Structure formats: C-alpha cells, structure tokens
Amino acid sequence: MRKIKTIGVLTSGGDAPGMNGAIRAVVRAGIHYGMKVMGIRRGYTGLITGDMHEMNLRSVSDIIHRGGTILQTVRCPEFTTQEGMEKAMSMARVFSLDAVVVIGGDGSYMGAREISKLGMPVIGLPGTIDNDIACTDYTIGYDTALNTVQDAIDKIRDTAYSHERCSVVEVMGRNAGYIALNVGISGGAEVVLLPEKSFDMDSDVIKPIIEGRNRGKKNYIVIVAEGVGGAIELAKDIEKRTGLGSRATILGHLQRGGSPTVRDRVMSSIMGVKAVELLNDGIINRVVCFKEEKIVDFDIDEALSMKKTIEDEIIEISKILAL
C-alpha cells in the first residue's frame, strides 16, 4: 500500500464531549508524522460536498476543554445511497485524501465500512455518549454524560428529599441502558427501567416503592431510559397508585454537552493518536477500542459483527442496592 500522506477527519452521528480531544489528537499526530490533515465539516455531508479545509497545529488550540465538535456533525441520509457514496469518493479524490478517520457511533462505522469497500482506507474512533458500541468497553463522551446526569440527579434528590416525593428522571439512551443503569447505581435510584429489559409496572415499580415506604423510605428516584420513555405518565401513575407526590424530569440534550471529563479528554487523545499511528504503519480499516483496560484495534467488519449486552449481574447489583 502506498504511504498515506493526506488524511481527512470527521465527526458523525450524535455529538459527544471529547470529540474535540480526538480531532485535536488526529491533527497533531498527523502533523507529527508528516501528514496533511483535512478537517471535514458536518460529517459525511462535508465529504459529499467537499466542505473541508486543511488544519494546522493552531486550528486545534483551545478546544480540548470544549464540548460538542468544532467540525460539527449531521445525520446524512444521502450518504447511505450508492449515489451519495460515489459523490463522496470523487470528492475524496479531488482533495487527494488517502484515508478518513471517522469519529462516531456504529451507524457512522457502517458508513465508514461502505467507503472502505469502495477503496477509501478508514479508521473508526468510538464517539457516543451511549457507550453502545459492541467492540469497545468505553466510548468517547460516555464518562462526561454519566457525570452530567449524576450531577442532575443529586440536585433532583435534594428537592425530592425536601418534599418527600418520587422523582422520575428520564435519561438518554434510545436502545441502550448503560447511562440509566450506571447512574441508577451511582445515584442510589430505587427503580431503573432499561430498554433492554421489559418491566412490569406492579412488580418492578409500584411494589419496590411501597416496600420502601414500609421500611421508612420517604423519597425515591426512578430512572427511565429514553428508549423506555413515558416519564411523565409514569410519574402520574406512581402518584395515583401510591399517593406519593411524583414529578418527572426529562434531562434531554443537556446530557450531550459540557466540558469533557479528564477521562474523556485523555481517552480521546490517546485514541486519536492511535488512529494516526495505525495509518502511518499502513494498517487500515480498523476501529480503535478500549478492551480489558487496553487500547486495541479491530478490523471494522469484525467490530460491526460483535454484539454487546447489558450485564444481568450489574442489573441485579442495582436491585440489591435499591433495598
């Protein structure tokens, strides 16, 4: 394979705190290894339209502490079509891109795999607050989102305590309950409802609240993942059936923003450098991951064939602790 001289970097799918750290690392490592680095704006849309510019050391100054992504991101349906992909490939040739680093979730990896099949070398970096990418135990943005949600739950608990109420808190995660389960444990929730597990209102929600009351509990936190939904109705139902004053809070997009934590800054930086080092060594079509406390990489096809399941043991632990 010929030496990689020019690489593109883009962020795609939902933004996540730490994406800027990854962009910064790709740019600085790329320049360190003598490459030209093109920042592609607005995900795959920028690849299709040629919305890209050369980045230098200073283009990524003062961004490591900022949430969001300086390159911006969109969901790009056109890219999923044959025509869109061909446009992207011809634009990549116009800008002499030898490889593209894609920072995003598994949808973005699917796009990356498609262009790799058309001859464009790619490297994927895991960027999503959901932590739902199968090949990796950690995704960029997850730690910041957990801490943001935890901070919100602590505040909600203060008022739930004062008023002796039940607070139903809806957290992000359409298909994945990692945020819900973990903040359920760290926030001392009485009930956690996950998209991966069906639940019964009587035995999984009302019963633990009533049993808690019989043991002297006065306030309650119920965490509902977005994929389960219905937080407002759930709060009304709890109030009706238990007589306990109940309020719903939907945390929404505040979970996606904010200054990245140290963990997200460090991990995104290490992963970004690793992506460039793979390319510099002529290793392509890989996804950088964190597995068993180590930074590793997998073939993109293998990565996309992996499955991730929420651990039943951790769900059980959260139930034991909710007593």
Residue with tokens 């360190």: 32
Site for ligand ADP in 44-83 (CB under 6 A): 44, 75-76, 79-80
Span from 101-109, 151-159, 250-258, 307-315 in contact with ligand ADP (CB under 6 A):
101-109
Is residue 141 involved in binding ligand ADP (CB under 6 A)? no
- Please write down the long-range contacts of 212-220, taking CB distance under 8 Å and 24 or more positions apart: 213/242, 213/244, 217/190, 218/161, 218/164, 219/157, 219/160, 219/161, 219/163, 219/164, 219/165, 219/166, 219/167, 220/160, 220/165, 220/166, 220/167, 220/190, 220/191, 220/244
Span from 26-34, 36-44, 128-136, 156-164 in contact with ligand F6P (CB under 6 A):
128-136
Is residue 130 involved in binding ligand F6P (CB under 6 A)? yes
Quick one: three-class SS letters along 82-132?
A: HHHHHHHHHHHHHCCCCEEEEEECHHHHHHHHHHHHCCCCEEEEEECCCCC
Span from 24-32, 118-126, 169-177, 301-309 in contact with ligand F6P (CB under 6 A):
169-177
Which partner, ligand F6P, ligand ADP, none, binds residue 226 by CB below 5 to 8 Å per kind? Answer: ligand F6P
- Nearest distance from residue 117's CB to ligand ADP, in Å? 10
**Interaction mask 118-137, ligand ADP, x per CB under 6 A:** ----------x---------
Taking residue 290's Cβ as centre, other Cβ atoms within 10 Å add up to 18
Among 226, 279, 287, 304, the residue binding ligand F6P under the rule CB under 6 A is 226
Q: Judging by beta carbons within 10 Å of its beta carbon (0-12, 13-18, 19+), is residue 230 exposed, middle or buried?
A: middle
Among 104, 124, 184, 187, the residue binding ligand ADP under the rule CB under 6 A is 104
Contact 310, 177 (CB under 8 A): yes
**Interaction mask 19-58, ligand F6P, x per CB under 6 A:** ----------------------------------------
Complex with ligand ADP: residue 48 or 273, whichever CB lies closer: 48
* Centroid of chain to Cα 114: 21
Is residue 108 involved in binding ligand ADP (CB under 6 A)? yes
The yes-or-no answer on residue 106 being catalytic is: no
- Nearest distance from residue 252's CB to ligand F6P, in Å? 8
Site for ligand ADP in 3-32 (CB under 6 A): 12-14
Tokens representing 91 are 């634009």
- Nearest distance from residue 152's CB to ligand ADP, in Å? 22
**Interaction mask 77-116, ligand F6P, x per CB under 6 A:** ----------------------------x-----------
Q: Which of 15, 98, 106, 130 is catalytic?
A: 130
Rg of the chain over Cα atoms, rounded to whole angstroms, equals: 22
* Separation of first and last alpha carbons in the chain: 59
Which partner, ligand F6P, ligand ADP, none, binds residue 116 by CB below 5 to 8 Å per kind? Answer: none
Q: Give the integer Cα–Cα distance in Å for 36 and 254.
A: 35
Which partner, ligand F6P, ligand ADP, none, binds residue 104 by CB below 5 to 8 Å per kind? Answer: ligand ADP
Tokens representing 200 are 């019964």
Tokens representing 18 are 């730490």
Catalytic residues: 130
